Amino acid sequence: MKVVIADDDGITRQILRNMLQDAGHTIAAEAKNGQDVVEACLLNQPDVLYLDINMPMLSGFEALPQVKQACPDVHVVMISASSTLENVRQAAKFGVGGFLVKPFTPAKVLGVLPKNKV
């Protein structure tokens, strides 16, 4: 699968990149803020987007409508250090395909991928 990773923390992006590449997935792009993720999705048309909630410029939730407009079929996995009920509800409202809480394991990162594309 072609994946875009969006997180303002470089270490988190590196960990996700390594886990996904080790599982045979292609990292099409990485973004460190909400504006860059919209552009990365438009240019790369990924199958999956790992999207951090708290990022500069646009939060993950603020970027998500633009991402969905650019890539309506992308499987979005929200990432957060905080799994508050409000964050989970908001993610569900946007129809995201998964929710990862930091820190995560390879099993959790791969477990939220769409089954029909693995």
- What pLDDT is attached to residue 21? 97
This prediction has a pTM of: 0.92
CATH code reported for the domain at 2-111: 3.40.50.2300
List, in order, residues 6 or more apart from 36 with CB less than 8 Å away: 6, 57
- What pLDDT is attached to residue 90? 84
Domains of the chain by residue range: 2-111
- What pLDDT is attached to residue 94? 82
Share of the chain above pLDDT 70, in %: 97
pLDDT < 50 stretches in the chain: 118
pLDDT digit string (tens) for 63-85? 999 999 999 999 999 998 877 88
State the Cα–Cα distance between residues 87 and 92, nearest whole angstrom: 9
Listed residue (72, 79, 52, 73) closest to 63, CA to CA: 52
